[in-house]
Structure 1
Amino acid sequence: MNTSIPPRLVADALWLLTARSRGGNHWVSNAHCQIQTIEFGGHSHPISLLEHSNWQECAASSPRSALLRAHRQRLKQSTSATARIADTLSCLVYGPLSALMHTGKLDQAALVANYLLPTSLYPAWGADDIQLMTERLQTAHPQRPLMMQHLSSEVCPQLMQHLRNLGWKMVATRTVFLSDPQQTQQTGFWPDTDVEIVHQDQLSNSDLHELHALYQLHKRSNVRQTNHLQTDFSLAFFELCLETGFVELTGLRWQGHWVGILGTYTQTDSDWLTAPLMAWDHNLPVSVKPEHLLHDLFIREAQQKQLRLHCGTEQKIAPDRSHSAIEYTAIYDQHLPTTQKIANRWFSALFQQCVYRPS
């Protein structure tokens, strides 16, 4: 693609252009949200709007799924006695939380710069950009709370401070793992394996149907990812990634069959690399472990690009020498009626005390 525009901006613009006309489910099959745009920082950015919080909405598009259903699902999947007891008693907490979320309309919030990825990275916006964004969103969505997901004081400290200065409230919502692979030794690859690494520039459109089928098989095979909360990327999303590098794809091939796929993502001027897409074949011989090679590829790419690693809990990997970090959801409701602001305040307090208590 011959253009003087940076590839990241081209990819974002094509994602946004199509999402505006076709909706979020064009890229993510279980994200039935409307996509609008806002101008700040010199570019257009997506605003995702959910009218009806269907129980099948993925966490990337639905605050209700991200804040309530995801934590409830973890309780149901846990085998510990404490978690089973908590799940039994959870209706005493989740019922009031659900009612508060409905009253404050948090489940119908306007999500800022939401590209429907399970992990988010943001450009280095300045204080003026954030002020302009907040003012324009209040005008465009006077009845909706404003929300930004996946904020960490280590990954985007200045952005969080700009938001706080304007009255955005931070609610701790999940734990992620961060690491600096530049401080570790080069990862080793299997010396005896015949798994072929196929990079983005070696993939073709004819490969995408098989890679997408592998991704779907992974979601069905992995017990922890069979629930509806996980992001379900469409075949069209795979095609976008191959065309623009929106997410950079790397495939693994063994004996002529695709056995693994890694999709990595970064943002302009970001020091971080994340992997919103990772899948492998679960029905291979013990000697072939594509998940280990995908893990090594992720670290190796960060080392080559001199970026640090950002790993969401849904990836089920923790790089060497990684440490946990708290991610926050930022909420702005100063433009809303008093009833909604009170409901949101109580929701945040109850959620922090009874659902996710950061250590």
Structure 2
Amino acid sequence: MNAQIPTRNLADALWLLVARARGGAHWLANTACDVHSVEIEHSAQPVTLLRSERSSPQAAQQVQSYVASPVSSWVSYPQHELARRLQANPGFAARTAAACALSPLSLLLKGCGLDQAAIFGNRLISTNLYPDWTYPQLQQLQQQLLDLYPQRPLMLRNICPQVTPGLAKSLQDLGWQLIPARLVYLCEPGQASVWKHNHVKQDKKLLAGGDMQVLSPQQLQAADLPAMRELFRSLFIHKHSGLNPDFTPAFFEMCLESNFLDLYALRLQEKIVGVVGLYEHYDPYSERNWLTTPLIGYDQNQAQDLGIYRRLMSLLLQQAQQRQASLHYSSGAGQFKRARGGIAHLEYTAVYSSHLPRFQRHCNEVFAALMQKHAPAILKKADSV
């Protein structure tokens, strides 16, 4: 392992350099996309382009992760989630009628051409964190993207007004549509009230119990990575959905070497039983530090009362406090996160289509209107199930 830990900018630059040369599949096993880059404020940012069936026959047969494919995000992933819940609870069948609406939605998305979108700022992780770029900066960026991709919709994932309020407003002022995508949870670990939650106290005590060793990024070795990857895959790929980002061995190696994600592990009796990867981002415009976790996994064969997931989330919360960072809990496990200081907010995907042919623009307008009207209630309902 390198003696010196690169800065956030260097780690991001390494990710982008390799992705441009080898494609997104080098970092993500279930994504066939090309990765380009553009500059905004002297910073190179990725642009992901999903490979079409025409240009890559293999792409037609490959499962595409939702972090690269809008169709997977808005159609396939909800279908997978409904099927998973139906299998776990047959009484849920009546509510799966909503799945019937997803097939027509898929056709509408094809009319929008969103799976051919140029997705800016996309590092192929669940939660991308951005600076709160200004209107003039975004205006210049928009023109760059239009010059490079005149026949593609433009897209920016993970827009949350509570995280980057200026960015969200400027995008709307520039004609981008904000389409509801997820319900996410934000937390301020610097507030004393967070640490008064009973679950937070119990989790902290559990983590400090001494029966498991917390391994820091500096303590981890290359030999630990296969077990860590398997813990992540067993939870997010095998248990939940093959549409989640399937990080490759090369991705784990890159994180260990560059701290693109700060990897932490829990070890029980010489065996790694939990892993979490932290992504830290400092926004120079708002002067806020943010922390999120695109990667987490644990040994599901261990006794449930060990509370491995609870320990990992306590570690995440404590790291956010130590780094004086706001915490982006991402989406899912709403009840769990609310009990640990998480506050729910809508997150959007921003889409720009004003430069496209009339039919495509119309499809995007219809899709945006449908999602803006119905998605917030659906997302909140799904989160409460």
Q: Same fold (TM over 0.5)?
A: yes
Calculate the TM-score normalised by the size of structure 2: 0.85
1:23 aligns with 2:23: yes
Measure, in 2, the Cα distance between the counterparts of 1:40 and 1:137: 11
With over 3 angstroms needed to count, the CA separation of the structure-2 counterparts of 1:260 and 1:244, relative to structure 1, is: same
With over 3 angstroms needed to count, the CA separation of the structure-2 counterparts of 1:164 and 1:89, relative to structure 1, is: closer
Amino acid at match of 2:350: A
Residue 6 of structure 1 deviates from its aligned partner by 6.7
Amino acid at match of 2:46: P
Percent identity of the aligned residues? 34
1:150 aligns with 2:158: yes
1:58 to 53, 59, 65: 65
Contact 2:132 2:165 in 1 (8 A): no
Residue 161 of structure 1 deviates from its aligned partner by 1.1
**Could you tell which deviates more after superposition, 166-175 or 306-315?**
306-315
Residue 258 of structure 1 deviates from its aligned partner by 0.4
Measure, in 2, the Cα distance between the counterparts of 1:275 and 1:157: 21
What's 1:304 paired with?
322
Measure, in 2, the Cα distance between the counterparts of 1:209 and 1:71: 29
Cα deviation per residue 1:84-111 (whole Å; 9 max; x = unaligned)? 33433533x2232222211120111110
Measure, in 2, the Cα distance between the counterparts of 1:263 and 1:2: 20
Cα deviation per residue 1:100-138 (whole Å; 9 max; x = unaligned)? 211120111110100000112112322222111100101
**Could you tell which deviates more after superposition, 272-281 or 55-64?**
55-64
Amino acid at match of 1:237: F
What's 1:74 paired with?
81
Amino acid at match of 1:46: P
Contact 2:329 2:342 in 1 (8 A): no
Measure, in 2, the Cα distance between the counterparts of 1:220 and 1:98: 23
Q: Secondary structure at the match of 1:48?
A: strand
Contact 1:248 1:265 in 2 (8 A): yes
Greater share of helix: 2
With over 3 angstroms needed to count, the CA separation of the structure-2 counterparts of 1:126 and 1:242, relative to structure 1, is: same
What's 1:170 paired with?
178
Measure, in 2, the Cα distance between the counterparts of 1:282 and 1:200: 23
1:127 aligns with 2:135: yes
What's 2:94 paired with?
85
What's 1:244 paired with?
258
Calculate the TM-score normalised by the size of structure 1: 0.91
Residue 323 of structure 1 deviates from its aligned partner by 1.3
**Could you tell which deviates more after superposition, 145-154 or 206-215?**
206-215
What's 1:201 paired with?
218
With over 3 angstroms needed to count, the CA separation of the structure-2 counterparts of 1:143 and 1:86, relative to structure 1, is: farther
Amino acid at match of 1:216: R
What's 1:257 paired with?
271
Residue 2 of structure 1 deviates from its aligned partner by 8.8
Residue 313 of structure 1 deviates from its aligned partner by 2.2
Q: Secondary structure at the match of 1:246?
A: coil
1:281 aligns with 2:308: no
Residue 350 of structure 1 deviates from its aligned partner by 2.6
Cα deviation per residue 1:127-168 (whole Å; 9 max; x = unaligned)? 222111100101100110000111111011111111111111
What's 1:35 paired with?
35
With over 3 angstroms needed to count, the CA separation of the structure-2 counterparts of 1:49 and 1:196, relative to structure 1, is: same
Contact 1:76 1:84 in 2 (8 A): no
Amino acid at match of 1:105: G
Q: Secondary structure at the match of 1:267?
A: strand
Measure, in 1, the Cα distance between the counterparts of 2:258 and 2:48: 22
Measure, in 1, the Cα distance between the counterparts of 2:23 and 2:105: 28
Contact 1:273 1:307 in 2 (8 A): yes
CA RMSD of aligned residues (A): 2.3
Q: Secondary structure at the match of 2:152?
A: coil
Amino acid at match of 1:229: L
2:189 to 166, 181, 188: 181
Amino acid at match of 2:361: K
Contact 1:181 1:302 in 2 (8 A): yes
What's 1:268 paired with?
282
Contact 2:235 2:297 in 1 (8 A): yes
Contact 1:175 1:326 in 2 (8 A): yes
Amino acid at match of 2:362: I
Measure, in 2, the Cα distance between the counterparts of 1:40 and 1:296: 35
